[in-house]
Amino acid sequence: MLFRNRRYALFLLCLFLLVPIAGHSASAEAPPQIGIYLDGKKIVTDVPPFITAKTNVTMVPLSVISKSWGANVSWSQATKTATIRHEGLVLDMTMGQKFALVNGQRTDLETTVQVVSGRVMVPLRFVGTQLQLLVTWQQATRTILLQSQEGGEVGPGPGPGPGSGNSETLRGAWVSTVYNLDWPTDKSYGKPEQQKQDYIKLLDDLQAMGLNAAFVQVRPSADSFYPSALVPWSRYLSGKQGTDPGYDPLAFMIEETHKRGMEFHAWFNPFRATVDEKKEGLAANHIAITHPEWVVLFNKKYYINPGIPEARQHIIDAIMEVVRGYDIDGVHLDDYFYPSGSFPDDATYAAYNTDLLSAKADWRRDNINRFVKELGESIHLVKPQLSYGISPFGVWRNIADDPTGSDTKAGVTTYDSMYADVRTWIQQGWIDYVAPQIYWSLSFEVARYDKLVNWWANEVRGTNVKLLIGHAPYKLGTKEAGWSTAQEIINQLIYNKNVVEVQGDIFFSAKDLRRNPLGLIPLLQQYYQQ
């Protein structure tokens, strides 16, 4: 979910990087060096980052991409080409050329690769966009805050889920379909029987670990894993958007999941329209084609504009197709609301700010509030028993920005970066549960797991909103503090048992559980059998 996301909170390195540096003014004195922090830890570079004079592009040493983000990098002196490889992605950037090759496809660059003091420097915004990171630029301190998230991409209902009256805790996994991350594989395009068998095997594996719920992404990017009158078939079923896969994947998945006594939660990415800036491969009935005035190109992706009421209603209508037509256990949203950064919606603000809110940030939060509230009302009008929940980024606000916020120093917050005021949703009872993506360890001081669990528990205390916790097995084995042993996940589950408000756990994501990182699977099996 969570983290979402993305969405891929493994990270795909999960979070969508944008550096809104435009507007930086020159000073008579040399400005202070730019600092870069990844998940609260300063990235030390032997050559400092700098901003190009004409194009306002932040350049960073190529070595940063390797040391901090785990990518494989190389530099060919003969061709003067920098190559970055990560998770099947190959980026080639050649000095003097204002374009890059992304898996062989030409993509324009704002500035070329440079060599400074013997170090290869690459454009941070472009590389970050391709690696799916999220960044906040702090002009006052000339600091870039990189935040891992998923999610990405990166819920509960009747049965073990919150609000069901069942005493069994919910134990779920997010199943990402975007980019074919968890299911189905790109090798199964056009092979419905293989897709079915692959999903059955996925369920068997999850259930064998002790899990009892699947949160499957049925709307990865304004498309569907079910026959829809409003949106096209997802390309992640066949390789081409709009192509009928030859069966109803959603109906099949629900049936197989329920056969095992497991819950099926339909996971929707609300406002992501595309995963890139290309419209050529979109189906004729995709929203970016039928209503180009409803989408915004930002950070080389199209987003459905949350400020347009008709666009928000379109998303609700698409979700309600599933609510009315399928025996799901819940509707689950990830954290895709407004993208972090300088989202270009001035014209929308001027046209749709009917309440005359003086701050655009408040207007954006009001748009998301209306969406969350109206979707919940629509769901419960049709199926009052259906569980409706959202998986936000793990930090609402830092205590430095709000005395009622958490004791954290996150570079991104759901309130200020995604304009998602989760506190209001909880206090107003607009959602049935909240599942924050607490993707940090018990020893990560910038955003410590136990502090955040306690903060969220306090938020739901005295309300009818239940609390689930999103966990990050994808981080096991990474260099971030606390992830050197699989016991970290078990320790988090043990901690949750002592917090009465916590009623379940969701893991991001299925593929990361299935690869058994650092021997996690037998530990989970032992824990859940107690």
- What are the tens digits of pLDDT across the range 182-193? 999 999 999 999
Does 142 share its domain with 253?
no
* Cα radius of gyration rounded to whole Å, the chain: 22
Of 112, 147, 182, the position where a domain reaches its end is 147
Non-local (6+) Cβ contacts of 403 within 8 A are none
Q: Which is higher by pLDDT, 262 or 146?
A: 262
Q: What is the pLDDT of residue 128?
A: 79
Residue 14 included in any domain: no
Does 142 share its domain with 174?
no
pLDDT range class, residue 29, cuts 50, 70, 90: very low
Q: CA 97 → CA 101, 110, 340, 413, distances in Å?
A: 10, 10, 29, 37
Please give the helix or strand (H or E) that residue 237 lies within, else none.
helix 235-238
Residue 282 included in any domain: yes
Instruction: Please check the confidence at residue 350 and state whether its pLDDT lies above 60.
Output: yes
Residue keyed to tokens 């609402």: 396
Token output for 19: 């550096």
Does 112 share its domain with 181?
no
Sign of CA dihedral 125, 128, 130, 132: negative
* Three-state secondary-structure class, residue 72: strand
Q: What is the pLDDT of residue 34?
A: 79
Does 184 share its domain with 81?
no
Does 216 share its domain with 131?
no
Q: What is the pLDDT of residue 530?
A: 82
Residue 153 included in any domain: no
Counted domains in the chain: 2
Does 389 share its domain with 440?
yes
Residue 248 included in any domain: yes
Q: What is the pLDDT of residue 396?
A: 98
Report how far residue 136's alpha carbon sits from residue 441's, in angstroms, rounded to the nearest whole number. 22
How many Cβ atoms are within 10 Å of 86's Cβ, its own excluded? 20
Does 208 share its domain with 346?
yes
pLDDT range class, residue 30, cuts 50, 70, 90: low
Q: CA 489 → CA 76, 298, 317, 457, distances in Å?
A: 41, 35, 38, 19
Sign of CA dihedral 196, 199, 201, 207: negative
Residue 127 included in any domain: yes
41-55, 103-117, 152-166, 356-370 — most confident range: 356-370
Of 116, 147, 178, the position where a domain reaches its end is 147
Residue 24 included in any domain: no
Question: Domain span at residue 238?
Answer: 170-529
Report how far residue 145's alpha carbon sits from residue 151's, in angstroms, rounded to the nearest whole number. 17
Residue 324 included in any domain: yes
* Three-state secondary-structure class, residue 209: helix
Instruction: Please check the confidence at residue 176 and state whether its pLDDT lies above 80.
Output: yes
Count CA within 13 A, CB hemisphere, residue 212: 16
Phi (first) and psi of residue 305, to 5 degrees: -75, 110
Instruction: Please check the confidence at residue 166 and state whether its pLDDT lies above 70.
Output: no
Q: Using one digit for the tens of pLDDT, what is the confidence trace for 195-234?
A: 999 999 999 999 999 999 999 999 999 999 999 999 999 9
Does 204 share its domain with 118?
no
Count CA within 13 A, CB hemisphere, residue 431: 29
Residue 226 included in any domain: yes
Q: What is the pLDDT of residue 131?
A: 78
Instruction: Please check the confidence at residue 45 and state whether its pLDDT lies above 80.
Output: no
Does 81 share its domain with 227?
no
The CATH number of residue 371's host domain is 3.20.20.80
Q: Using one digit for the tens of pLDDT, what is the confidence trace for 65-92?
A: 776 666 777 888 889 999 888 877 889 9
Q: Using one digit for the tens of pLDDT, what is the confidence trace for 443-489?
A: 999 999 999 999 999 999 999 999 999 999 999 999 999 999 999 99
Of 147, 179, 206, the position where a domain reaches its end is 147
Instruction: Read off the amino acid at residue 177.
Output: T
Report how far residue 132's alpha carbon sits from residue 4's, in angstroms, rounded to the nearest whole number. 12
Q: Angle at Cα 132 formed by Cα 130 and Cα 133, nearest 5°? A: 120
Does 177 share its domain with 287?
yes
Instruction: Please check the confidence at residue 126 and state whether its pLDDT lies above 90.
Output: no
Instruction: Please check the confidence at residue 137 and state whether its pLDDT lies above 90.
Output: no
The CATH number of residue 127's host domain is 3.30.457.10
Q: What is the pLDDT of residue 155?
A: 31
Summarize the confidence of residues 129-145 as an average pLDDT: 67
**Reported pTM:** 0.71
Does 89 share its domain with 219?
no
Q: What is the pLDDT of residue 105?
A: 87
Q: What is the pLDDT of residue 86?
A: 82
Does 272 share its domain with 382?
yes
Report how far residue 162's alpha carbon sits from residue 155's, in angstroms, rounded to the nearest whole number. 9
